[in-house]
Amino acid sequence: MPVAIFGDRSCGKTIFLSLLYESQVRYTNSEENVGPGEFRFTTDPSFTSIFGNHRTNMSKGQWADATLKGNMAKYKFKYGYRRMISVGKEASSRFDIMDFTVYDIAGEDLDILRSLEQYRESISTGTYKGEFDFSALSTSFQELLKCNVLVFLIDLSKINAEARSERFIEMRNYDVFMATLISAVSKYKSQVYAQDEDKAKIYPVFVLTKFDLLDKEIIKMNNWPESYEGLNAEKRGLRGMFKDKEFTKEDYARAILMKYYGDTMALSKGAAIANVSFDKSAYFFSEIRTEQNEDGEIIPRLVSVKGSHLLDYSYNEYRAFIERFREIARKMPDEVKEEQEFRGVKG
């Protein structure tokens, strides 16, 4: 089941993938997962080496390298989720197995979305043809658009409330970029919908990255919780009725996006008009706590847990993210999952 990860430059894609690997390791080895185990994973030796080294480097205070322009990294994991069946069968049959393939391209490869040149009918007259040219996109980007499972990384460090300041303009430009990205996905999937509804279905996930860099004054100004931890994941109720009225983590994520990334949220809602639904999106927060080293550099922080030194980050959010794909795998038709394995892409 391919998973496309979308995000602008420096939004935290490489760190996100590194922490996802870290979480897979922790979840597998967690005390509540011993014995039969609720979750297990495996991967190719090359990917184990890449992410194992990321994990080691972050543990010694180094950040992971960014994806280089023009490259599309392909990372494959095989997930196993334990099924609730009788214990009389072979151990291998107790797991629902899912191939989890992640495609990640550099933020620079999305820069065509910022350029208005491809929209112009004539540069001299400044007239617009009003059509998006998908052939102008990189091959990597076009491949990502074929995925049904879409993860959008939203950078919270860009949020700013000082009107007309440089940082405020930067935030607005970022919002327009992410909205353009979502509208491109919607347009592409709406074309697919006309031919095959199953292939046009999307399973969107929004990951709000760099929560640790969200301005505390912004939080205070909006009377928001200082942390998402402790909030229920989402509103629940029979067929969506009689939902809790308490402020949930989903509410928190939506509130942030609607107030500061309004274009992005509006375009995701508007996609329903094109038969592309973002209405059942999942929301997660990504946060890695940091500290200063002796040279004054900001580095990942470690915490001691029962004698082990572990990265201090939003592990529970990543674990919930992993569990989300158990649900998606059950919903997506097998033929769609199989057809979306892109052949010939180098990892």
The model carries a pTM of 0.86
Residue 299 to residues 17, 59, 215, 233, Cα–Cα distance (Å): 17, 9, 19, 29
Within 8 A by CB and 6+ apart from 317, the residues are 228, 284, 285, 286, 287
Q: Nearest 5°: phi and psi at 299?
A: -135, 160
Within 8 A by CB and 6+ apart from 60, the residues are none
H or E element in which residue 207 lies: strand 203-209
> Where does 32-96 have alpha helices with state H?
45-59
Give residue-wise pLDDT tens across range 266-315.
999 999 998 999 998 999 999 999 998 888 888 899 998 878 889 999 99
- Round to whole Å and give the CA distance between 1 and 68: 24
Give residue-wise pLDDT tens across range 98-145.
888 888 776 667 777 777 556 666 556 667 766 777 887 888 888 888
The pLDDT of residue 137 is 82
Query: CA gyration radius for the chain?
Result: 21
The pLDDT of residue 68 is 47
Residue pointed to by tokens 């480097």: 57
The residue type of 230 is G
The pLDDT of residue 217 is 96
The pLDDT of residue 302 is 92
- Round to whole Å and give the CA distance between 44 and 48: 6
Residues of the chain scoring pLDDT < 70: 33-37, 66-72, 84-94, 106-108, 116-126, 129-130, 235-245, 332-347
The pLDDT of residue 213 is 93
Cβ–Cβ < 8 Å for 276, 187? no
End-to-end CA distance of the chain: 16
- Round to whole Å and give the CA distance between 342 and 181: 21
The pLDDT of residue 14 is 84
Angle between helices 166-193 and 262-270 (to 10 degrees): 10
The pLDDT of residue 286 is 96
The pLDDT of residue 231 is 93
